[in-house]
Structure 1
């Protein structure tokens, strides 16, 4: 796994968690790929995963894990128990970019990033590398002719021959300049913006209202979050990119976009924890007006980490099986899935299990 944002909370939690599960210290709670339907699908073992990545920060993974344990994200004592695995992964993290003053062209940056991914595979004698973007959300691209950083990394992944997933709302492969590369790479890639909390609930509740013929009049929400995501999403451009996926799920599952919007507030004291509140106004029989309110409180890193481990294993197996192009079967994990996928979670889960059976047949 080559992680973009490799020293962030999600990446650190994934590395520490994978080491803990491989050592038998914790059960694989939250990993869908460790449930019975995936048995025999040929997925790489958790113990076979090797980690590296790009990041622009210098805090080493063992120290980052200590900070997460102090904040209650990782279990007390886990950073010490898996220190060797965290330190080994940290030696494989390379400076990201572009940093201020970097004069390299987009193509030069892509070539440099791709070379580092290929060198990682060669150095560690890996069968394949899967690149997953878990960096902080970037603002939606403007009129700048330069590719945004997320698209530089996405292009580098494909140039290096690595399957790719974008777990952030950032542009990634969804840039018109990369359309041809995505097609000609003959590599599997998936989605945009991981679905961990509020939108997960929306993808369940939206179909419920539609299936029961209840008319949703308005759907409003508020997100309170801290950490790197809270700081990044304080930027209106980044928040708009994030909210687009949340709104798309409602429009797709309800058949129309209801009134209301999502507000995102940066609360630094929350750290990696977040609270998401939704207020849903709907009409029942004979126009009877009713409401449903939901509150989701969770740790985003602990919710996201097992999902990116799932995605890495599934994309690695898809690559081994000779599959290429967008993988709508992995919509279960994304707010903004690839074309052809339903936005309703039950339909997405069915498609994922069908995909597992396909991989099992190809094993």
Structure 2
């Protein structure tokens, strides 16, 4: 525990619930091999169980003032309980509002990050909160803390901010996650496969449904997420028509599950018709946590070694990095 990564989180939603409950789960199963659901049991010498959340920020009154163990199950959070309790000591502090960024709130975040000796700040805000996301990043920079932005709003793609993080020898990783096994990843791999095998894709679409707060928010504010998904899929050459609906609807019955419908129509030898229809059903926030755990460890290692800015090793884990391969 003495060398654990000291993590702060901005936004105590389903992704954070999945991350912290998962870390607690692996603390009790780390000696078991294979470690199911983990890409890298150790990354840069840091175990998947060696992360401690020491600070948390939110604006939901049902979460502020509560311990993280309580807060991750409050408000609109509906990620299932997978452990009885988490051992994180942090109490949720009042955070930064997007509709009214107040300097006093930003200063409070800076002071709390310093007081808790945080190493990495995970920005896990709902989509379309750009002012708050940037303000948290600025607070982290002032406090000497690395940042991982898993929201779709541009943070790492702001050139001046990235330059200043680089100058301060602080990692800045993001934007938007490529889920551990999500619809964009599967869709792109299928398109790549058809292209490699010499087929032409005449048209393809992807429609996503979900029951968590993120999907309810995406229904009305989905433009950043749409741009992020198109950024991934449009990199495949030869696709004549591409349509993506990030949130085809908010279906409360699904809870934290996401159901993606992917359709591809193309032509093969002598113009013969090829149709792929796929239904992907996943636990949405687990898909995020399986990637966040690696990004947090990359950021912590970079900060400890004094390697700032964006790290190319993070590109496969992101939908909208500042550079493309």
TM-score interval, normalised by the smaller of the two chains: 0.7 to 0.9
Deviation, structure 1 residue 253? 2.5
Give 1:145-294 correspondences, 5 Å limit: 148-175=131-158, 178-196=161-179, 197-235=182-220, 238-254=221-237, 258-262=241-245, 264=247, 265-294=249-278
Q: 1:45 to 1:247 in 2, by over 3 A?
A: closer
* Partner Cα distance (2:301, 2:16) in 1: 21
TM-score (normalizing by structure 2): 0.84
Give 1:1-363 correspondences, 5 Å limit: 1-5=7-11, 7-24=12-29, 28-34=35-41, 38=43, 41-43=44-46, 46-57=49-60, 58-59=62-63, 60=66, 61-64=68-71, 73-75=80-82, 78-79=83-84, 82-83=85-86, 85-86=87-88, 88-89=89-90, 91=91, 93-98=92-97, 104-105=102-103, 109-121=105-117, 129-138=119-128, 148-175=131-158, 178-196=161-179, 197-235=182-220, 238-254=221-237, 258-262=241-245, 264=247, 265-341=249-325
Unaligned runs of 5+ in 2: 1-6
Deviation, structure 1 residue 284? 0.9
* Partner Cα distance (1:324, 1:248) in 2: 25
- From the two aligned structures, give the one with the greater helix fraction: 1
Deviation, structure 1 residue 250? 1.7
Q: 1:334 to 1:29 in 2, by over 3 A?
A: same
Q: 1:241 to 1:48 in 2, by over 3 A?
A: closer
Cα root mean square deviation, aligned: 2.7
1:8-54 CA distances to partner (integer Å, 9 max, x unpaired)?
1111221122122113389643222217xx5xx32256235334221
Q: 1:94 to 1:67 in 2, by over 3 A?
A: closer
Q: Which residue in the other structure is 1:352 paired with?
A: none
1:44-93 CA distances to partner (integer Å, 9 max, x unpaired)?
5623533422111233433455579x967333xx22xx35x15x23x2x2
TM-score (normalizing by structure 1): 0.76
* Partner Cα distance (1:48, 1:22) in 2: 10
* Partner Cα distance (1:276, 1:230) in 2: 12
Deviation, structure 1 residue 184? 2.6
